[in-house]
Amino acid sequence: MLSKKTQYAFRALTHLVENYNKGPVLISEISKKKKIPLKFLENILLELKKAGILESKKGKGGGYYLKNDPAKTHVANVIRVVDGPISMLPCVSLYFYQRCKNCDEKTCGLHDIMSDVRDATLHILENRTLKDLVE
């Protein structure tokens, strides 16, 4: 399951997509419109900024906005930034790989199954973008 934090992230991003190219949006506005705890949202947006998904502007008239065209940011990327691994096992993760103790990847049946799941999942999540959030 995606964490609540990640779900907040998607809700916030949805708002920013809806306001794409309309200038910076206040954290407090997103917080209010999407009912996300303000300070928690601050952290989330900052993370998304550091990951290169958002940009921000300080001072009056400032706020957050999408760095790139909504169709350029993939859903998979957002999940990796906020939630971490997408795979069901560390030993099949592409971005957060960790070899598994007590099992040999060559002969581990579970490994194969979860590789297949990962492929199927990524096939979807890497081909859906922020644009798809609003349709």
Partner DNA sequence: ATTAAAGTCCACTTTTTTGGTAGGCTATTT
Partner DNA sequence: AAATAGCCTACCAAAAAAGTGGACTTTAAT
**Is residue 113 within the footprint of its own copies (CB under 8 A)?**
yes
Positive or negative CA dihedral for 61, 67, 69, 70?
negative
Candidate residues 22, 35, 60, 106; the one interacting with DNA per rule CB under 7 A: 60
The continuous run of DSSP H or E covering 118 comes out as: helix 109-125
Q: Count of CB atoms within 10 A of residue 73's CB?
A: 23
**Is residue 97 within the footprint of DNA (CB under 7 A)?**
no
When CB distances are held under 5 to 8 angstroms depending on the partner's kind, the choice from its own copies, DNA, none that residue 39 binds is DNA
**Is residue 57 within the footprint of DNA (CB under 7 A)?**
yes
- Per the structure block, which two tokens stand in for 127? 């081909």
When CB distances are held under 5 to 8 angstroms depending on the partner's kind, the choice from DNA, its own copies, none that residue 125 binds is its own copies
